[in-house]
Every structure is written in C-alpha cells, then in structure tokens.
A and B are shown apart, each in its own frame.
Chain A
Amino acid sequence: MSVALALETASAKPAGKRPYFLNPEVERVLAITMAAVQELAVARERIDTLERLLEAKGVVARDEIEHFAPTPGQSAERGLWLQEYLTRVLRIVQQEGEAIGANAAGDVYSEEVALEAEPAS
C-alpha cells in the first residue's frame, strides 16, 4: 500500500501555480534532464561503493579498475555497445535528418494519406 501510494503521490504538484522561466517546452526537457543527471549521480555513487567494497574484501583493487585494458575483442564489444547506445539516445536527431530527404521526396502525415484520393482502378 505504501509503495502504491508513493508511486501515486511522490511527484505530487505542490499547491500554487508553477512559474516558468524558460520556454515551457525547454523547461520541461531541462527538468527531465536534471532528474536524469541526478540519477546518474546516484548510479555513480553506487558503483563507487561497489568498487570500495570489492577492494576492501580483496576481490578487485581499484587500481586494477583504473588501469584495466580491454582485449581487442572486449574493446569491440564495448565500442559496439556505445554505438548502439548513441543511436538509441540520439534517435530524434537521426530521424530529423532523415526527414529532410523524406520531405523532399513527398513524405506525408498519416492523416493526409487518409484524405488522398484513391487512384481509379
């Protein structure tokens, strides 16, 4: 029950209208970005704790992490992961780029397709 309540109300709006300082679309994106920045810090702190615990238990020395050199195969896997990651994150940039050519070629909105006259058969 408490977790359901938390999901429902943790992000509740406080009473009182919210001021916007920037274009609202920009401010909305910035707010989401800052929440993501926060969660990156949270993940970073967790990794830091893990590294310190692993070192304290003699499993992995932090120095080993610092000087880790991937094999060519590992490098390729990592490189591939980064490439996949960037295409995912920058999806809209790719799609807006593709749209330039698509528009020139007569790209249409879905609703326009519905309004197109059927070719006489």
Chain B
Amino acid sequence: MDGSVDLGASAPAAVYDGPPDYRAVGRHGVFPDTSHDEIARLNFLAQMNRHLSTRVMPHVKTAWDRRAGPKFEKDHGRAPKDRHEVRKALLGDPAFTTWSALRRMTMEQRQQAGRWTCVRQAEAMAARTDALTRGDNRLSLDPALPIPRYISAVDHHCMPGSYHAELFSGDVSGAASYDHAIFATTGGMLGRYSDGGGQAVVKWLRDHRPDLKPKRILDLGAALGHNTLPIAQAFPDAEVVAVDVGAPMLRYGLARAKSMGVDNVSFIQADGSDLSMFADASFDCVLTIMFLHELSHGSMRAIFKESHRLLRPGGVVMHIEQPQYAAGMPLFEQAMRDWDAFYNNEPFWSALHEIDLDAALIAAGFSRENLIHGAVTAVVDKDVFPDAADDEGEDYGRKAAWHVIGAAR
C-alpha cells in the first residue's frame, strides 16, 4: 500500500487498525468549528501518537535491553536500583532521546493545533457559552478562589493556560481546545465524547455495586465534565456535582452539558481540598477520574479526607488512575511511565504512582476491609473507536486502561 488506495474499498478498511477519522468525534452546542485542514491536523497527530507508541517505542525497549541497560551495568557493576537510574541512563541513549523529542513535539503540536482552532473563534464560543449559562444557578463560580501552586507553576500536559487561565473575561477557548483535541493524544481511545473514563465508572458501578442507587454524586477535578456526563446520564435521578478550580472549564462544561440534554449536573468552582460548602455525609458517591496524578501530595491527602467526610455510610469513593508502580513492575516500565512527570508537565505523576494509596485512604478515615481495588478500560463505541481492552500496545501512561482504587464508607 502506498497510502493512495481507496480506504472505502473493502480490503483496506478491513485491515486498517488505527484511529478513526476525526469526523467521528461527537459535536455539541459549544463545540468549536473545525476546518478541513484543522481536522487533518488532528488526524495527523492521532496517527503520530499511535506511530510513536507502536512503531518507535518498541525500539526504546530494545535500546534499554540491548544497549543502555548493559552499559549501565558495565559502568556501575550492578543493575539500576530504581526507575530514576533507568531514566537517567536512558537520557544517554539516542533511541530514548529521539522518541522523547518527538513525543514532546507531538504534544506541543497538539496544543498548538487545538489552540489555533479555538482562539480564532474564541469570542463566538464565549458568546454561545454565555447565552447557555447566564443566570443558570447550576454554574457557581468563585473569582476569589486562589489557583493552587501545583496548578499554576507548570501548565499540565503543556496546555498553555492550563485549566484556569482565560484570554479575556468569559473566554472558554482553553476548555474547548482540551475537549475537541484530546482525540489526538489518545488516538480516539476515549470515544466519541471523550467520556470513556466516565462510561467505565458507570460499567464498574453496575457490575460491582448493582444496588447502589446514588442520589448525589460528586466528581472532583471534573474539568469540563466530559466524564461526568455519562455518569449523570446513567443515574438520571441523581444530582451530580462537578467541581474544578478552572472557571473556563466549568462555564464551558455547563453549556456543553445543556446542549447535550444533560440537566442534572451542577458545575462548582472550588478547590477539592476545601469542600466546606457541602455538608457532612451529603454524597453517595465521590469520584475522581484521571485526577489524582495532577494533585500535590498535600492536596491529595486533603481531598481523601474531604471525600471521607462527605460520604454517607454505605457510599463509595472511587479514584480512576493509571496503575501504581507495584513492586513487580519492571524498572524500565516504571521509568517509561514516569516520562510525563519529567517531560510533559505532570510534576506529581511520579510520586503519586509510588505512594501507598491504601495507606493514604486509611489515614483519611476509611477502614482497610472496605478498600476497593479494580481495573477498567475506557468504554467506547467499538464500531468506530479503538477499544483499549483489545489493544495489546502499551503507551506507558497514555493508554486508556486504568486502576480503580477507592473505599466504601
């Protein structure tokens, strides 16, 4: 195949294994307009990420096994002690540095592409968002809320302005960029509305807590609520509360939810480490989805404590997160999973994945016998989107295959 064959013909479509065309992504009332070239840019970036994880990363493993690893042992007369020694040794190997440079650039290109699309129409999107949210008491913003240092010091995953900055009052371009272009980073593995994580939570609750009929659900670090909505849809009688520090995310999130016909979610600007606006025992379910790794250690402990205080007896807290660095995990894999911590502005990623989360939950007040452990993959429309459960590839830290850690109250 030279790439010029007709993918509509049966043979290439049957053998094709990769991200769908971007046009499969679901649109809603505040979704940015995307030109042909802007879509093509995201198609390229989705394939580029897939290429890096399936075609380039295996050579990094070979380079470690055959070149950098043996060199370390020869130089030190011993095997590496920990993942940090592995990572530092890899920094001297061209396979790792080339892959790393390309991976970093691909993330920068993804941010640039999404940002161009959204900033060029920022005023129109802000107006649409304002029309949908003005006067709606399901949006509660706190302009005086301090943005924590762990958010403001470095922009997470190289997203300029992170979750909180706005280019002008009412701007939602950062949220729209996150929303419409996360497809590029995951190659579509999060599904049509980038909600594969939220759908995974629903599936887990149905499978493991079939009797749980939550009346009130709290989603912490919800950003624009992309994972909150499938939960709200699965429990239409529940009141769902999405909390985040980023006002633009929340504004955009409510507008997005309303335009998708989801009306049982409130969006509240708050720091999860101080949820004093909510009464004790006022939620049946507290969730975080791919959020713990973005928190400072102190903030995580405070959030665990708050989640314990907020849960009713019988309620559950669930954290969906990339797997911990268990003792049996090879140091090479740990080092690769650490990449985002050092090179993609995820400063707490490394420490979070090595700490004893069980002990942290127990310290927050949960009892050991009530701890929950599990594993989930993103739930997507498998006819169109790649299913992480069927994917044998590994994109250390990016694959939509997560651990569940939590506790019952």
Query: Could you tell me which A residues sit within 8 Å of B by CB distance?
Result: 1-3, 5-6, 9-16, 18-22, 27, 30-31, 34-35, 38, 41-42, 45-46, 49, 62, 66
- Spell out B's residues near A (CB within 8 Å): 4, 6, 36-37, 39-41, 43-45, 48, 91, 96-98, 100-102, 104-106, 108-109, 111-112, 115-116, 119-124, 152-155, 158-162, 167, 342-343, 345
Distance between A103 CB and nearest chain B CB, rounded to angstroms: 32
Q: How many A-B residue pairs have CB under 8 A?
A: 106
Chain B at the A interface: mostly helix, strand, loop or mixed? helix
Other-chain residue from A11, A15, A20, A49 in contact with B154 (beta carbon distance below 8 A): A15
Q: How long is the Cα–Cα vector from A66 to B39 in the complex, in angstroms?
A: 26
**List of 10 A-B pairs having minimum Cβ-Cβ separation, nearest first:** A16-B154, A14-B155, A45-B40, A10-B116, A6-B119, A21-B97, A6-B120, A12-B160, A41-B44, A42-B40
Give, as a whole number of angstroms, the nearest-CB distance from A62 to chain B: 7
Given A16-B153, A16-B154, A22-B101, CB of A46 within 8 Å of CB of B91: no
Distance to closest chain A CB from B33 (angstroms): 12
Known interface pairs A9-B115, A21-B101, A22-B97. Does A2 touch B120 (Cβ–Cβ under 8 Å)?
A: yes
Interchain nearest-CB distance for A18 vs B (Å): 8
Complex Cα spacing A49 to B37, Å: 11
Q: How far is the CA of A66 from the CA of B112 in the complex (A)?
A: 35
Q: Which residue of B lies closest to A15 (CB)?
A: B155
List the A side residues contacting B122 at CB < 8 Å. Answer: 2, 5-6
- The answer on a CB contact under 8 Å between B100 and A21 is yes
The CA-CA distance from A41 to B124 in the complex, in Å, is 29
In contact, A38 and B109 (Cβ under 8 angstroms): yes
Chain B residue contacts of A30, Cβ below 8 A: 101-102, 105
> What chain B residues lie within 8 Å of A66 (beta carbons)?
4
Nearest CB in chain B: distance from A91 CB, A: 24
Closest-by-CB residue of A relative to B152 is: A15
CA distance A16 to B91 in the complex (A): 20
B162 near A5: Cβ-Cβ < 8 Å: no
